[in-house]
Amino acid sequence: MTGTDDFEYGNFTRQIEGILDMPSGNFILTDNEESGNIAFHIKVGYSHNGLAAREYTYNGLMWFWN
């Protein structure tokens, strides 16, 4: 996860896009663990701070233990 106001937003987004474009095809974007192996979400207005970290962690853990 990243936020649109995060100083690493552009770099992180390009990194994920690069991983997904790899010719091996080993990485598949998904919203569930049955259909792929990479989840990537962008939160509008969020930056690199504690509020974002807490929300990302909470939602990530909920995704693992749905």
Tokens 């909920």 sit at which residue?
62
Q: Per the structure block, which two tokens stand in for 6? A: 């995060």
63: number of Cβ within 10 Å: 13
The count of domains in the chain is 1
- Digits of tens for pLDDT over the chain (66 positions)? 899 999 999 999 999 999 999 999 999 999 887 899 998 999 999 999 999 999 989 988 887 776
State the chain's mean pLDDT as an integer.
Answer: 91
Domain that includes residue 54, residue range: 2-64
